[in-house]
Amino acid sequence: MAINAFHHIPVLVDDGFNVVESLAILDYLETKYPMPTLLPADAKARATVRMVEMVTVNELMLGIAPLSRQWMGACW
């Protein structure tokens, strides 16, 4: 709770700096450790990665959240 008030994992703690939210953690790691890269250089390939991220967060998770809470318990 001291690290993430939402009581969720994952959380990254790096040199006293706390990062919450999966996509923010990935961006942080990509920026701090650019090699090997996590993201493709090609514009269309990178856009595809971002689309999958955004559709997952903004569309899919909203839809499955009620179901997973009911049937699977904790995770969402």
Ligand X SMILES: N[C@@H](CCC(=O)N[C@@H](CS)C(=O)NCC(=O)O)C(=O)O
- Distance between start and end Cα atoms, the chain: 17
Site for ligand X in 8-67 (CB under 6 A): 8-10, 21-22
11: β partners: 20
Residue of 46, 56, 51 lying closest to 21 (CA atoms): 56
Among 1, 2, 7, 31, which residue interacts with ligand X (rule: CB under 6 A)?
7
Contacts (Cβ under 8 Å, ≥6 apart) of 29: 12, 38
Among 5, 13, 35, 75, which residue interacts with ligand X (rule: CB under 6 A)?
75
Q: Which stretch binds ligand X (CB under 6 A): 3-11, 27-35, 46-54, 64-72?
A: 3-11
- The reply to whether 2 sits near ligand X by the rule CB under 6 A is no
| Minimum CB–partner distance for residue 27 and ligand X (Å) | 12
